[in-house]
Amino acid sequence: MAEEDKKVNRREFFFKTGVFTALGLAILAFFRNLLLYIFPERKEKTFHKYLVAHEKEFKKDKRPKQINIGKTPVFVVPYDDHYKVMSGICTHLGCIVKWEQDKDRFFCPCHKGEFDRMGNVIGGPPPRPLDEFKVVVENHKVYVYVEDKVRSPWA
């Protein structure tokens, strides 16, 4: 009789272990999937090349050239046969800087931020130099790498 009881207990044990293991696994799988679902996938940034200037434009005039990429103003600055391309957005609070030829500086009118020709901070509150784009020169043409903005609103 005692042995029989034990057998029933063992069966019960396997049953309960089975149910709870299955339940535990289901809960784990469920939450794993939920976490993946809730946190959007981080995609690696992709870039495309964007023509910003031709070298011959700077033969006589070494002044920074301003163009717009989308709605962002960008400055192309020639120096020692190289080029630096910087965002025109002030690193302080996002106003647009302008080039002042007579003072050889970029100046932000909002809080009097000052940057030199290479974008380094020389005065005012900006915390860091102007943001730079990666530049390549091919066949005398100056290109920058611009981050792809996905067309769908889920970027």
**Which residues touch 43 (CB under 8 Å, ≥6 apart)?**
none
Please report how close the Cβ of residue 29 comes to other proteins at its closest, in angstroms. Answer: 9
Which amino acid makes up residue 99? W
Q: Which is nearer to other proteins, 22 or 137 (CB)?
A: 22
Binding residue (CB under 8 A) for other proteins from 28, 36, 93, 137: 36
Residue 155 sits in the site that holds other proteins (CB under 8 A): no
What is the rounded CA–CA span in Å between residue 76 and residue 83?
7
Residue 37 sits in the site that holds other proteins (CB under 8 A): yes
CA-based nearest residue to 93, from 126, 116, 47 = 126
- Residue 88, Cβ neighbours under 10 Å: how many? 22
Residue 34 sits in the site that holds other proteins (CB under 8 A): yes
CB 119 within 8 A of CB 130: yes
What is the rounded CA–CA span in Å between residue 62 and residue 101?
10
Residue 94 sits in the site that holds other proteins (CB under 8 A): no
Q: Which stretch binds other proteins (CB under 8 A): 36-44, 63-71, 72-80, 112-120?
A: 36-44
Residue 154 sits in the site that holds other proteins (CB under 8 A): yes
What is the rounded CA–CA span in Å between residue 45 and residue 149?
9
Q: Which is nearer to other proteins, 1 or 38 (CB)?
A: 38
Residues near other proteins, by CB under 8 A: 15-16, 19, 22-23, 26, 30, 33-34, 36-38, 40-41, 152-154
